[in-house]
Structure formats: C-alpha cells, structure tokens
Chains A and B, each alone.
Chain A
C-alpha cells in the first residue's frame, strides 16, 4: 500500500498550490483528481486551450492558470488524473478508482481541496431536458469548446453567471436574454460595501461592472428583479415563465435555459468524516469549522480552497499554500522558497478576500431558492416534490429521518442535489434556524462506484 506524507484531493488552484509547496519541501505528495488534466473548475483544460483563440476568449484570469499548472506538473508530486476518491476512513485510509483500477492509499495527512458545487436551486420544471446549470455549460465551453448554436437564456445570480455570459459573447455565442434573479440590495449598504472594497480592489469591481454593462448592451433582453421561475414544456424545455418583484409575469420561448444561483463548498468528503460544519449566514451555506490554517475537527485533515468557504481562485491559491505551510511545520520541514512565508500568504489571502463581503451581500440568493413551492421537485433522483417532503414533516424529524420516511437523498446523487433544500424545508417547518438543522448524514461511497471496481479490491487484498 502506498503511504505518502500527504494526499491532496483536488487539483484546482488550492490543491495544486499546496502540492507545489509541499513537494518542493521534500514531502511525498499524491494528488488525486477526477478530471483528466489539472486546473480544477476555473482552469479546466488550460493546457490545451492556452495560446488558442478559445483560451483568449475565456479571459486573462483563465490563462493565468497555465503557470500554476506547469509548476505543478514539475513539482515532484505524484498526480493521478481521472481518478476518483470515493472513501476516506477516519484513519485516513483512502480509496480511489482510476485508469489503473482501485487502490487504497494510507497517507499521514489529507488535504481536501474539492472546491465548490453549484447551489441546487429547485424551481418548477428544473428537471426538464433543456434546463442546465451555468457551471455545466461553462465546462462545455472549456472542453470541446462547443458554443451553443442557438441563442441561450440565462437565469441567475452570482459572478459565475456574469462571467459565463461574458465568455460566451466573446466566443461568438448569443445571449438571448438574462433573467437576473439577484435580489436588489439596499443602495446604502451596497455603496458602503463597495466603497470599502473599491479602496483595495477597484480593478475587480470595474471588471464586474463591465460585465454587467456588456450584458445590458449585448443580451437580447435584460430583466432585473426576477423572483420566481418556471420551466415550461412536457418532455423538453419549451419556454420559461418568470415573475418579477413587482409582480409582473411573463413568458418567453426557448429550448435552452441556463440557471445559476451561486456556489457552495463541496463538503461531501468532509461531512462523511464527521468533521464539524457550521452555517455561514453571509454565504447562505454550510462551511467546515476551521482554524486559520485550514485544520478542521479531525486532527489529520486540512481543508483549503472553496471547500473551506467560498473565496474564489486567488484566495484558494493562498489558502492552499497556508495549509501546506502548516503541514510542513507539522512534519518538520521548511518551504523551499524563501518568500513562501506565513506572513506573505496571509497578506495575499486577506487581499484576495477584500471583495468577498461585497460579493456575498450583493449576490445573496433570493428567498425562493430555499422555499420551493409545493409542486417543485426537490429530490430529482426519487422524484419527490416539496409537498411530499412537507407531508412527512410532522413532529420533529431531522434530515436523516425524513430520508428514511421518503427516500429523499437515497439516489445516485447521494443527496448533493436535495440536501440543502431538505434542511431548509425542515428549518422552515419547525421555525428553526439553519444552524440548528443538520443536513443528511453522508454515506460512502462519496462518488458512485461500479460494482466491478469494488470487486477488484478483493483481488488486490488477496494478492497483497
């Protein structure tokens, strides 16, 4: 069995940055990622795209990832692409399946850098073919580089929705319309937060403002203050009905709708280990309870990047480095690069997070995201509607009991799609705060696993 000093789950900005610091300092590092190439979500496919027109269209921040990916490739860390981690035992025994089959790794420490997932935001009709998330659409842009042939409608809230629209337009795609689901923020509060942020991060702010301006000019339509959505159609998306805060209801025809309501830390692995989490009201999301190094309630596990709380790519780099520095400290090593000091990393991290309170406030999801109406499917795998779940919510039942009663969360997505909504429904029904409600307990495997891949492990134990 392989026994590295450090196993890193995720080869995005955080995972790669940590790997570089740790491997250069002489640690034996293994990095596992399910994608075929390094880069994570933001820099997906960067090696293939850099220097091409597609790369340029995806933007400067995208192209900036190439340097990190190259350094990562050369840093000496063992990198297993196309490999999924599907179980981490509390003793750190880690089960992975990749092109070489299934194996078990026994590291001394684990760094979880699994990034973010898009916030599942159920609305009526969201399971219709033709409705997809902005994140999934962006993967298509980066990978085979396919630009949707038809004009697309986008409905959403959050920097990623704006960035996608911007990238799509630069690649020659057409935004038929943008339904902005961002609730309007009180002007004074916005200005205050923006003012504070502008002092330190005016460039980023200007970039965001220019994306908005571009949308105004280039999107066929721009509709602000959308509070409710309904995808129309029987077997395939045919249109969208939406309602604005002012109560106006309109319908548009489209066969493609991209939706996005922000991102959440990907906590599946963290939670399967029973690590403590807390409700972050500012980000309207659960996040792990961490110290300033990214150490969690499990003594030998650290968490960095968006999995530690949404902070974006630059913050992820510095959180990854800080966690790596802590790991070096714990294993009695020092960083190879003299400038890689705690002080420098903290200063850079603080700078990267300047804009965050502003972004969190401005892009706070609308209330309807947490309170789907009765008819909305909440659990896609088991096709359960909010009504079915609420009916089972008599007395004081927790998420796990509700799961047993209704099968919500038992399907192949393992509760990733409905977990947060179920917790929100429970909180609403019982008049409790989200911080008092526990989401579903996570059961392994963390990723669906083919039966033969598990069976393969039996041969391995026989031979070893």
Chain B
C-alpha cells in the first residue's frame, strides 16, 4: 500500500474518529483516518446507543446539552437521522430512600442552573411505562433524551466522511508516532504517512497512542455488556435506568429489548478479545425482570461485550496533548460517549484549525491524568 501525506491523521475509526474527520474535512483539511479493524468495530457498534443527558457529571452537562440539540438536527449534519428517537430517559426510584436521592440530585441541578431533569411521581411514571412494576415509586426524567441506532449512525457518519473526500484506511494499525519536519510521521503496519496534526481517537487504546508521544497517563478500560431480545410488540419509548443497580433498559425501534447498564464482562486489550460473563449479566436480567415482570419469557438472542477507555474521574479526554504539539485527544468516554458524538469532533477540529474552541473543555484536559 502506498504511503502518503495529509494534513491530519485520525487514529481510530469509531464514531468519535469519524465525527472529527468529518469536522476537519468540512474545515478544509486533508484527512486520512486509520482503523486497525473496520469502521465502528469497537465501542461504537457495541454501544447501547443511549442519547442521555440525564444524571451526567456536572462537568459535562453543558457539552451534553449542546450535543443533544445536534441529535435533533442529525439529518442536516450527516444526511440521516441515525434512528434517533426522543422518548426520554428515566432514572427510576425503587424505594422512598431512592426517591430522596433523586430529589437531592434535582435540587443540585437547579442550583447549578440546569433545567433538563425533572422529578416525576409514580402516576406519571406509570403513564410513561404502563408495564412497570408496582414497587417503583417515581423517577427523574430528561424528556428530550432518547436513543439512536448505532449501526445507522456509523453508516451515516462514514458516508458523510467519505462524501467529503476524507480517506478511510481500514485494517491498518498505527504503530508509532515520530516527530517529523513540520509535524509527525505516522508509522503504520502498511507504510508511513507524514502529517501536521494527529488526532488520537483510539477509544480503549487511547493511552497506547498517548504513550507513542511520551505521555503516560492513568487509564483503564471497561468491558461493558449488552444483551438484546427477540422482537416484541412496541410497548414503551423511554430508556430506563435505576438508582440502585446497574441497568439500562429500552425498546429499540425494531421492537427488540436492549439491556445494558455497564455490567462488566471480560476483555483483553492486547488481543482485542472480549468475553460475555453471563453470571454478571444475569444480574442485569434479574433487574430488568423485577422492573418489568411481563418480559420474563422473552427470548434473549444475542449478548456481547464492548471495550471502551475509562479514566479515574470517568470524564473523557478532549483537547491538545500536554506533551506533543500537533497531537489532539478524543478518547476515554468511560461508557457514555455516544451522546457526545455530534459535538466533540467539532470542538477538536476547531482547536486544530483555528487554535481554539468556543466550548470550555478545561475539565477534559489530559494533564489531569499524567503520572
């Protein structure tokens, strides 16, 4: 394969790499994107694809609210609505103590000046989810939230990126980054490219790319599991999570039930292998069944585990490298980066193209993780 030149190399063909590549070509840059496997192979297709502003860390609420607005305009951005359905996201309280925790969160949001979360009582909860178990006492809802179709999202971003002339190279892994005149030499297992800027969108492997430029950070990974059932009659639209357990539960537009919530399976970053741990996943099934007793006989047809980077504070890494000029990071979304896809790439593309972004990304600085 021929090596070549571009102004920017993006490492990682997940949704964040794609979104950044798209923003860069829209700003007039030549972009080459390298993906070790195939586009979307990792977290971006494993994702439960919740579009959630609810219950986020206060540090990322502003970004997530801005990203949410873009989900409503997805068609204009990538030519497809990506299957986004705004049925709301609800955090369910299963006891009065849990309801108090929701009330405290609600008060905190008001204090910070955020109004996207709203307390609902048992009646409203049952109106939104008639099948929900009797014992649930209320919830906290973000009504404009929802969920999308990850495969459609990947396909739409891919089409948009290629349509704007960026080059996507699948099956190519970046092995090293070497300083070169005016930028970086990107050494891959299929030749070298010389570029001015590098975007590290390597997901769970983000810290490996950091190490290529001498940046050693505190970083771990998650191996989150999801299972999906056969199709059942459309019964509800919101996405449910609970205060007390690891659960996220929704019905897709195809009618399948999708259960996740960050329950951990097995993964091996070096080999890129994952394993489903059904003993752990059983807790998710039990929780889903306790919340929605009617689903107990529905058949599970597929389960999987996806790998994603995890930072100690569970906030992503967004912005310039602390050590290497011309290198920019977008990784470490710690299990909730899908919602941020339509915004973050643009922020980094602005940093690269214009030297700054109009969003405050101070909390996401890689410097906080340096060892």
A residues near B (Cβ < 8 Å) are 87, 89-90, 95, 104, 397-398, 400-401, 404-405, 407, 410-412, 414, 443-445, 448-452, 454-459, 461
Do residues B283 and A451 form an inter-chain contact, with CB atoms below 8 A?
A: no
Known A404-B40, A450-B300: A457·B289 in contact at CB below 8 Å: no
6 chain-A/chain-B pairs, Cβ below 8 angstroms:
A398-B38, A401-B38, A414-B302, A450-B300, A451-B285, A452-B296
Residues of B bordering A, CB below 8 Å: 38-41, 45, 151, 154-155, 227, 229-230, 254, 275-276, 278-279, 281-283, 285-286, 288-289, 295-304
Q: Which residue of B lies closest to A404 (CB)?
A: B151
Contacts known (A398-B38, A451-B285); A95 close to B295, Cβ less than 8 A:
no
Whether A414 lies near B279 (C-beta < 8 A) is: no
A444 contacts which of B229, B299, B303 (Cβ < 8 Å)?
A: B303
**CA of A41 to CA of B275, assembled, Å:** 31
Cβ contact within 8 Å between A404 and B45: yes
- In the assembled complex, the Cα of A443 lies from the Cα of B40 at a distance in Å of 17
Q: Which of B151, B154, B254, B300 contacts A454 (CB 8 A)?
A: B300
- Check if A87 sits within 8 Å of B45, measured CB to CB: no
By a CB distance below 8 angstroms, the chain B residues around A454 are: 227, 278, 281-282, 285, 300
Once A412-B299, A450-B298, A452-B297 are accepted as A-B contacts, the answer to whether A457 and B151 lie under 8 Å apart by CB is no
Residue from A400, A405, A443, A457 within 8 A of B303 (CB atoms): A443
With both chains docked as a complex, state the minimum distance between the C-beta of A178 and any C-beta of chain B, in angstroms.
Answer: 36
Residues of B within 8 A of A445 (CB): 278, 300-303
From A95, A451, A459, give the contact of B298 (CB < 8 A): A451
Contact in complex: A407, B151 (CB < 8 Å): yes
Known: A412-B299, A444-B276. A451 touches B288 (CB 8 A): yes
Contact A451 B289 (CB under 8 A): yes
Q: Return A349 CB to nearest CB of chain B, in Å.
A: 35
In the complex, the answer to whether A458 meets B301 with C-beta atoms within 8 Å is no
B-chain residues with CB within 8 Å of residue A451 when the two chains form the complex: 229, 285, 288-289, 295-300
**Residues in A whose Cβ lies below 8 Å from that of B298:** 450-451
Known: A451-B299, A458-B282. 20 other contacts (CB 8 A): A90-B275, A95-B278, A404-B40, A407-B151, A407-B254, A410-B302, A412-B299, A443-B276, A443-B304, A445-B300, A448-B299, A449-B299, A451-B295, A451-B296, A454-B227, A454-B281, A454-B285, A455-B288, A457-B282, A458-B285
Nearest Cβ distance between residue A450 and chain B, in whole angstroms?
Answer: 5
Give Cα A411 to B230, complex, Å.
Answer: 7
A residues near B278, Cβ cutoff 8 Å: 87, 95, 444-445, 454, 457
B275: chain A residues within 8 A (beta carbon): 89-90
B285 CB contacts on chain A under 8 angstroms: 451-452, 454-455, 457-458
The interface residues of chain A lying within 8 Å CB-to-CB of B302 are: 410, 414, 443-445
Contacts of A449 in B (CB 8 A): 299-300
**Across the interface, do A104 and B279 meet the contact criterion of CB distance under 8 Å?**
yes
Q: Is A461 touching B45 in the complex (CB atoms < 8 A)?
A: no
Q: Which residues of chain A are within 8 angstroms of B151 by Cβ–Cβ distance? A: 404-405, 407
CA distance A410 to B256 in the complex (A): 11
A452 CB contacts on chain B under 8 angstroms: 285, 289, 296-297
Q: A396: nearest residue on chain B (CB-CB)? A: B170
Identity of the chain A residue whose Cβ is nearest the Cβ of B259 in the assembled complex: A451
Given the known interface contacts A404-B45, A405-B155, A458-B282, the answer about A450 and B299 at a Cβ–Cβ threshold of 8 Å is yes
Closest residue of chain A to B228 (Cβ to Cβ) is A410
Task: Report, nearest first, the 7 A-B pairs whose CB atoms are least far apart.
Answer: A457-B282, A452-B296, A458-B282, A448-B299, A458-B286, A455-B286, A454-B285
Contact status B295-A87, CB under 8 Å: no
- C-alpha gap A200/B301 in the complex (Å): 46
Chain A residues contacting B281 (CB-CB under 8 Å) are: 454
CA distance A444 to B301 in the complex (A): 8
The CA of A461 and the CA of B38, in the complex, are separated in Å by: 37
Contacts of A405 in B (CB 8 A): 151, 155
Please give, as numbers and ranges, the residues of chain A lying within 8 Å of B41 by CB-CB distance: 400
Distance in Å from the Cβ of B87 to the closest Cβ of chain A?
A: 21
Measured between beta carbons, the chain B residues less than 8 angstroms from A412 are 230, 299, 301
